[in-house]
Structure 1
Amino acid sequence: MTGSITSQPAPKGSEQPAERPAAQLSPTTPPQEAVLPPRAPEAPAPGTLVGSHYDHCFGCGPQHPAGLRMTVVAGEGLDVTAEFTVGAGHQGGPGLAHGGLLTTAMDETLGSLNWLLHAAAVTGRLETDFVRPVPVDSVLHIRARITGVHGRKIYSAAEGRIGGPDGPVAIRAQALFIQVKLEHFTQHGRPEDIKKALDDPDLFKRARAFEVNP
């Protein structure tokens, strides 16, 4: 026997579907409680190079055989600038920079902002938007800035341009960095690399200069 099925009212006291939650901020967007702190007294002077945090870092290390070897310059406020020259070895598609390497360049520049706060921090989240292709032999001009600090969280944003510092935007990025204690590296890094780093008196002295609040 067939027949139509009629809907029945929900039993009294039954739960109704929850309303759709309001749009939430991206994890890389600073909350209203975030502040813009002053530059640390130990921060690199405006116009000077921000030093490499580790000689064998793929992004900034001068001793990495295949690294990007980026140099970053401190700005007047909570900002830095950097340049990444795209070589033939950085290709993804024919004649174009690999998106992952462009993201690495943005991450390295954003991470350099932490020197302005004299804080040891690691990338917690990185969001990138690729606006236009970046050809081989072009220079990506990157400008990054801190957008807020809330507790151990450091929020930042950057944009990379081609054809000059004021050229068209090719890539944008927003990041969330988390301040950590130096034990983060000694506990999780490969032992032989940790030992080599600790045996470097300059690196050890530089690392121990950081004070991180819990």
Structure 2
Amino acid sequence: MTPPPGAVAPVRHPDAPAPGELLGSHYQHCFGCGGAQEHGLHLEIRAGQGVDVTAEFTVRPVHQGAPGLAHGGVLTTALDETMGSLGWLMQTIAVTGRLETDFVRPVPVDTALHLSAAVTAVRGRKIFSSATGRIGAPDGPVAVRADALFITVKVEHFTEHGRDEEIKAAMADPDQVRRARAFEVNP
């Protein structure tokens, strides 16, 4: 996914989490990063030096597609979630607009997949990013990679389109409210 003419380099927000800091879950019931999802990915994503992050995900038996191998949709979800967390570093809320995934090699169950993602360019509300998943170590063989286009949105995107029960529960969580307020500076 090639950024269009006029796209600029991403800028890390001065209030972004420090390099190496664990970003935490944006929502406890998120399949990608939430701890309340029994069969979720439970990604732990850490801020990088620039507008980049790293994460690790261990493929469990509940994540398989073909016998003994990770489901491609689960691997795509892991990359999507990792790229989606890049908004924390720019202090902006964004949702996936387009995602292209390349599957390079199978990922066996019980394998640790090391993920890295970075914003490559920004143009208006469009955020271009890329991610890679490597088997066994941060410098291990590439198993999966993706490019994505994210679109910045306001928090109302979720409150207007989400289910009332979950919205009320999230807004009752002080961490969720704090995070939402932190992003209000960058609509």
Q: Which amino acid aligns with 2:62?
A: G
Give me the whole-angstrom Cα distance separating, in 1, the residues matched to 2:40 and 2:146: 21
Give me the whole-angstrom Cα distance separating, in 2, the residues matched to 1:205 and 1:181: 15
Map of 1:84 onto structure 2 = 57
- Once the two structures are superposed, the pairs formed by residues 36-185 of structure 1 within 5 Å of their partners are 36-185=9-158
Q: Which amino acid aligns with 1:175?
A: A
* Preserved contact between residue 180 and residue 212 of structure 1 (Cα < 8 Å): no
Give me the whole-angstrom Cα distance separating, in 1, the residues matched to 2:87 and 2:186: 14
**What is the CA deviation profile of residues 142-177 of structure 1, one whole-angstrom value per residue up to 9, with x for unaligned ones?**
111100000011000011111311111110100000
1:194 partner SS: helix
* Preserved contact between residue 152 and residue 213 of structure 1 (Cα < 8 Å): no
Q: Which runs of 5+ in 2 are unaligned?
A: none
TM-score of the aligned structures, taking structure 2 as reference length: 0.96
Q: Which amino acid aligns with 1:61?
A: G
How many residue pairs were aligned? 187
List 4+ stretches of structure 1 deviating above 2 A. 211-214
Q: 1:33 to 1:212 in 2, by over 3 A?
A: farther
- Deviation (angstroms), 1:29: 2.0
2:183 partner SS: coil
Q: 1:205 to 1:213 in 2, by over 3 A?
A: closer
Q: Which runs of 5+ in 1 are unaligned?
A: 1-27
Q: Which amino acid aligns with 2:136?
A: G
**What is the CA deviation profile of residues 78-104 of structure 1, one whole-angstrom value per residue up to 9, with x for unaligned ones?**
111111101111110011000000000
Higher relative contact order (Cα pairs below 8 Å, separated by 6+ residues): 2
* Preserved contact between residue 10 and residue 119 of structure 2 (Cα < 8 Å): no
Q: Which amino acid aligns with 2:87?
A: N
Q: Given the alignment of the two structures, is residue 209 of structure 1 paired with residue 178 of structure 2, yes or no?
A: no
Q: Report the structure number with the largest CA radius of gyration.
A: 1
Give me the whole-angstrom Cα distance separating, in 2, the residues matched to 1:136 and 1:44: 32
RMSD (CA atoms): 1.2
Q: Given the alignment of the two structures, is residue 189 of structure 1 paired with residue 167 of structure 2, yes or no?
A: no
